[in-house]
Amino acid sequence: MQATTDHLDILNDPKVDIVAIATPVDSHYPLAKAALEAGKHVLVEKPMTASVAHAEELIELAEKKGLLLATDHVLCYTNEAQYLHNLLKSGELGQLLYWDSVRLNLGAVRSDYNVLWDLAVHDVSLFYHVTGRMPVEVLATGTSHLPGFPESMAQLHMFFDDNFVAQTHVNWLSPVKMRHGALVGTKKSASYNDQEASEKLRIYDRCVTCGSDGKPGYHLGDVLSPFIPPGDALRNEVRQLVEGIRTGKPPIADGYAGLQVVKILAAAERSLRSGSQRVKV
């Protein structure tokens, strides 16, 4: 293993097959582009780029070169995320009503980009993997409590064409750390808590229905904590990257997934700058 302070040493090394880029967001695009042009497969830290146009250009370049382009959406590689993804595909939850998530902590305040790009990217990438859905419009609100710094707390609302709504609340200034969410359907609901050592995911056989008399009815069934084998998300990610290089099969969080997340975040940024108006994705 050899250390270097010049990325060109890596790009010019014929022994290097794949490059991992974990640098400030604004540098993702030029570094990833240079690596692809040098014939390297690329894994980029999230968010993949700071703009939609740059993400699209990287995808096109990777396809042209026949190279793998992936984004480090590590939450998508957890066994819990895969279980929830399969649960949704099975139809057990019924028609989706809403997704709600919270990601709070104290510290790690950044000056180069706001809390949406820093924290909401985790929940947006997880949401996209689990549901495979893109919103029609988004609305974002946010506030900066530190002079000279971008928004330190924000809420992102995503709207879909079938009355489904997804939202996430993120905050750098919370005195407590929180990482949890819920996906609610017409038949059942699922909740997850990433801070739990075990039983991170729970399935609720509970729902609200509308009876023939027009009054709400309540179904209260069992709560299931499914056994999900422990696993290492980073190990799962690396395995998929290696398989992708060998076989051409794209990993869960490929360049296209990275692009979709950037589209949502870019739309959220436009909403913030427009006084928190709804904007199209």
Domains and CATH numbers, the chain: 7-74+234-264 (3.40.50.720), 76-230 (3.30.360.10)
Could you read off the pLDDT of 18-54 as tens digits, one per residue?
A: 999 999 999 999 999 999 999 999 999 999 999 999 9
The predicted model scores a pTM of 0.94
DSSP calls for 165-224:
EEEEEEESEEEEEEEEEEEEESS-EEEEETT-SS--EEEEEEEEEE-TTS-EEEEEEEEE
Note whether 159 and 171 are within 8 A (CB): no
Q: How far is Cα 200 from Cα 179, in angstroms, rounded to an integer?
A: 11
Q: How confident is the model at residue 101 (pLDDT cuts 50, 70, 90)?
A: very high
Q: What region, left, alpha or beta, does residue 131 occupy, with left being phi > 0 and alpha being psi -120 to 50 degrees?
A: alpha
Which of 1-10, 107-116, 255-264 is predicted most confidently? 255-264
Q: Is pLDDT of 78 > 90?
A: yes
> CA distances (Å), 136 to each of 3, 109, 113, 154, in order?
45, 30, 24, 20
Position 210 confidence tier, pLDDT thresholds 50, 70, 90 = confident
DSSP state of 104: E
- Cα separation, 102 vs 56, in Å, equals 29
CB 190 within 8 A of CB 226: no
Lowest mean pLDDT among 56-60, 196-200, 241-245, 264-268: 196-200
What pLDDT shows up at residue 1? 63
Question: Which whole-number Å values give the CA distances from 31 to 7, 78, 266, in the listed order?
Answer: 8, 27, 20
**DSSP classification of residue 65:** H
pLDDT at 107: 81
What per-residue confidence (pLDDT) applies to 197?
Answer: 84
pLDDT in tens, 139-186: 999 999 999 999 999 999 999 999 999 999 999 999 999 999 999 999
